Amino acid sequence: MVGLQFFAFISQVFIFFIFLGYIPLLWFMLAQGIKRCHDTGNSGWLQLIPGVFFWMMFAPGDSGRNKYGPSPKQPLEQRA
């Protein structure tokens, strides 16, 4: 019986650390989504709409400056 309690405790600890690992992953994914929304000239809140993720994967970004800054695809000389 002690063995089963030990494995139950270990599994709970493992699940806790997996959860802690998802927090930075979620933060990174949200930050990248916001950058992608800004690249297309939209607000970062747009990524919270279900299904917009698929549109953002294939939509071309703005080909120059928009209200969020220069295009990351432009050479550094043209960004200023």
Give the domain range for residue 22. Answer: 16-79
Q: Is there a domain that residue 27 lies in?
A: yes
Our count of domains for the chain comes to 1
pLDDT for the residue numbered 31: 92
pLDDT of residue 12: 86
Whether residue 38 is contained in a domain is answered as yes
**How far are the Cα atoms of 27, 39, 64 from residue 67, in angstroms, in the given order?**
24, 10, 10
Does pTM top 0.75 for this prediction?
no
Q: Specify if 67 maps to a domain.
A: yes
Q: Give the mean pLDDT per block of 10 residues along the chain (80 residues).
A: 75 88 92 86 87 82 76 65
Chain Cα centroid distance, residue 78: 28
pLDDT of residue 80: 57
Asked whether 74 and 62 are in contact (CB, 8 A), the reply is no
* Length of the chain, in residues: 80
Q: Which residue(s) pair with 69 in the sheet? A: 66
Confidence (pLDDT) at 40? 83
In a domain, 8, yes or no: no
10, part of any domain:
no
Residue 11 in any domain: the answer is no
How would you classify residue 75: left for phi > 0, otherwise alpha for psi between -120 and 50, otherwise beta?
A: beta
